[in-house]
Structure 1
Amino acid sequence: MILIKYGHACVRLETDDRVLVIDPGTFSEAEALDGVDEVLVTHEHPDHLDVAKLVAASRHNSAFRAYMPSAAVESVPELGGAAVAVETGQRFTAAGFAVDVVGGAHAEIYDGLPGCANVGFVVDGAVYHPGDSLFVPPSPVETLLVPAAAPWLKLSEVLDFVRAVRPQRAFPIHDAMLNELGQENFDNWLNFKGGTEYARIPVGESVKIR
């Protein structure tokens, strides 16, 4: 399995002739969706769900489907039947990958906000994308995608999250708000205290994870 990093929270998984994209938002590149039939969306916020990108993909491909929480489906009536609701505890197949839905709630920023649904996706038991949460999945995962910067996040929580999940390896996501100095600082801490193999994937580049 090949994992390609795109801007912010977007990643693309490829194996054989199967392709699956997670969280193609407004900070990610349009080419992430090239040749894609199915995508996963953790929640409704624009940095994870770029409505214009998904509508364009659905208009060019009648087989296109985007799996997301029901609240997110309701926020994108433009997608029509291309938007498919999923819920915590569900297992389904997307682009030939087995997908487990975990979590359920967006991490709190302040005073209960934003208070929206957020699901995490575990793909083929190998890759975990938590969206905007630090939910620890019930089963082990090989590769953890780690949120690096957000209004709801602090470094100590990230380190506790990585240690709790105990993946074989971790890569950062949700990092569009960090400049090079911020990225370097985050990477140094994850290497120092994360307790797992850690590396940053430059945007547009890939790693083989299985």
Structure 2
Amino acid sequence: MRLTKLGHACVRLEAGDRVLVIDPGTLSDPDALRGATAVLITHEHEDHLDRDRLAAARAANPALTVHTHAALAATLGPGTVVVAPGDTFTAAGFTVRAVGGTHAEIIDGLPGCPNLGYLVDGVYHPGDSLVVPGEPVDTLLLPASGPWLKLREAIELVRAIRPARAFPIHDANLSEIGLENFDGWLEEETCTSYARLPLGEPVEL
């Protein structure tokens, strides 16, 4: 299986001709959905969902399947597949389990919207949450920045999950100095293989 980071929180998983894209948002590569077989969306925020590009991709490929939680699915039109926390399903031939259910809090209960994390054949994308799935994780896609996230929480998430490897995502708002600072802490304070993925360059898992 190949993993490619396509900007901010968007990643692409490929095996043969099967292509699964997670969270193609407005901060992602404009071509993130090219050739996609299926799409997983964690939640409604635009940095995880570019509605215009998704609509264009579905118009170009009516066979493209889109999976997300019920509240968001209701706004994305017919054919959107509704999934709930605990569901196990197949998308682009990959086995997926949905976990979590709620966006991490910023303050005063906000934003308060649903959020699903996805465990895809050992690769875990938590969306905007700090949920620890109840099964082993080979590859953690680790949120690195956000108004809902502290550096300590990112470190604790890695320690709690204990993945074989971790790659940072959700980092478009960090400067080069911020990226280096985050990477340094994760390399020093966790016991997992940690590396930053070059954008658009696939890695074999």
TM-score, scaled to structure 2? 0.98
TM-fit CA distance, 1:30: 2.0
Contact 1:64 1:82 survives alignment (8 Å): no
Cα distance between partner residues in 1 of 2:8 and 2:75? 21
1:21-100 counterparts in 2 under 5 A? 21-76=21-76, 80-100=77-97
**What secondary structure is seen at the aligned counterpart in 2 of 1:152?**
coil
The question of 1:167 aligning with 2:148 is answered no
Cα distance between partner residues in 2 of 1:7 and 1:179? 14
| Aligned counterpart, 1:177 | 173
Cα distance between partner residues in 1 of 2:74 and 2:175? 34
| Structure with higher helix content | 1
1:156 maps to a residue whose letter is R
2:34 maps to a residue whose letter is D
The list of structure 1 runs, each at least 4 consecutive aligned residues, that deviate by more than 2 angstroms after superposition, is none
1:39 maps to a residue whose letter is V
| Aligned counterpart, 1:13 | 13
1:99 maps to a residue whose letter is V
Cα distance between partner residues in 2 of 1:70 and 1:46? 17
Give the one of 117, 120, 123 matched to 2:120.
Answer: 123
Q: Which runs of 5+ in 1 are unaligned?
A: none
1:150-161 counterparts in 2 under 5 A? 150-161=146-157
TM-score, scaled to structure 1? 0.96
Q: Which runs of 5+ in 2 are unaligned?
A: none
Count of aligned residue pairs for this structure pair: 205
Cα distance between partner residues in 1 of 2:50 and 2:151? 27
Cα distance between partner residues in 2 of 1:190 and 1:105? 25
| Aligned counterpart, 2:202 | 206
TM-fit CA distance, 1:107: 0.1
